[in-house]
Amino acid sequence: IDLGQQRGADPSAHRMDKQVDTKFFGHDATEHEKIMEEEAWKKQPKHFSKCRISALAAMKMLKHTLAGVKKGRARDGGKGLPLEVMGLMLGVIKPNSVIVLDSLPLPCDGFESEWDVKISDRATMLMLDVQNRMEEKGSTERVIGWYHSHPFEVGVYNNCFLSAIDLSTQSNYQKAGPAGWTGVVVDPMRCVAKSKLEMSAFRAYPDGFTVGKDVAPDGESIRETPGKNWGTYPEKYYQLETSFFMSSIARSTMDLFSKDSLWIRIIANSKMDDEEYSGKIIKRMTKASTKLTTANSFPEKVKDTPKSDTSQSETAKIAHDLCKEHTLGILRNILFLGCQCRPKRRQTEREDKQMDVCESVDTKV
């Protein structure tokens, strides 16, 4: 979880933490019984639309997947490839949501092409054993899904998707497993490269349900992100809205750990040299420029309309973000590079395009 997003000493943070404790960690037996009786997920293919993951579960999943990367690279004299790993997720279901409170690593690793029936059967037996033990202890939590890693090369987009084998596994567990069964894919290589959590939750569509072939699992058009890998059958599963939360105790501990070093991390993580960030800025600029062009061409139609205000506020936000990142970049060079000025270099084609769009937006403003 990016420390730059933490609320610090904001008094409202503690009130929000108490709400989180009640909403995610509290158990309402009546509500749970009603959810199980209605079985809304059998009537609506996308009934579960949100996946909330606790900081504890996310940290344990990331640690496990990074261990797979380290173990794989240690093979063949340090020239091996990262290994994929898998584990179970523990939690509860809420209306329209899957709440992941904890995770449990399984002793299964390797390459997807090498996984056989024995590994699958072993994972199933371990899952049943964990579920039986939790029921014996009277726990309100249960096995709610599984996670595995895609430790592939870092690119513009993350590697969170379901392959054909993943989709088959998810579909089979959804049919035979507990209600709300969800699969989470972790991209550990990108987590390290981008200093943020890169994990997404997915569920398979029921047999016979179809969506448009151009619709990606996240609901966007596949043609708009041609470089994004969604696997062989993107029309057979969908992505849940994934977010993270932590308890009041966890947040207090995090505040103590980050109190003296937060400013270092914020400055060190300037995004101006990040190709992915630059690409997103260009897209935002292009959309804002189009809206402003429309507003200037037909002022009598869009004057004092919410759409006109939205385009202007978006332009201001882009300018604010760019100024902030440029400032952090300058501070980073001064503090960490000993005030050394880098020699002037020739602008890349991407930077030329970004400057052209900037000038266009500035002219319209």
pLDDT (tens, 9 = 90+) of the chain, 365 residues, equals 343 333 333 444 434 445 666 677 777 788 888 888 888 998 999 999 999 999 889 999 999 999 999 999 998 888 888 999 999 999 999 989 999 999 999 888 777 666 544 556 777 788 778 878 887 877 778 899 999 999 998 888 999 999 998 999 899 989 988 889 999 999 999 998 888 899 999 999 999 888 888 899 998 888 888 888 999 999 999 999 999 988 777 777 777 666 655 655 665 566 666 667 677 777 777 777 777 777 666 555 545 555 556 667 777 888 887 787 777 777 666 665 554 444 444 455 555 555 554 455 444 44
Q: 114 lies in a domain?
A: yes
Contact 98, 48 (CB under 8 A): yes
- For the chain, the domain total comes to 1
Domain for residue 311, yes or no? no
Residue 6: Cβ-neighbour burial (10 angstroms; 0-12, 13-18, 19+): middle
| Residue 91 within a domain | yes
Question: Considering only CA atoms, which of 167, 158, 187 is closest in space to residue 237?
Answer: 167
Asked if residue 187 is part of any domain, the answer here is yes
Q: Is 93 helix (H, G, I), strand (E, B) or coil?
A: strand
Q: Indicate the SS3 state at residue 106.
A: strand
What per-residue confidence (pLDDT) applies to 12? 41
On whether residue 139 sits in a domain, the answer given is yes
Q: Which CATH number do you get for residue 219?
A: 3.40.140.10
State which residues form the domain around 206.
21-265
Look at phi and psi of residue 96 and say left if phi exceeds 0, alpha if psi is from -120 to 50, else beta: left
Longest CA span, the chain: 70
Tokens representing 310 are: 């939205």
Determine, yes or no, domain membership for 327: no
Residue 210 to residue 8: CA distance in whole angstroms: 45
Assess if residue 111 is contained within a domain. yes
Residue 272 lies in a domain: no
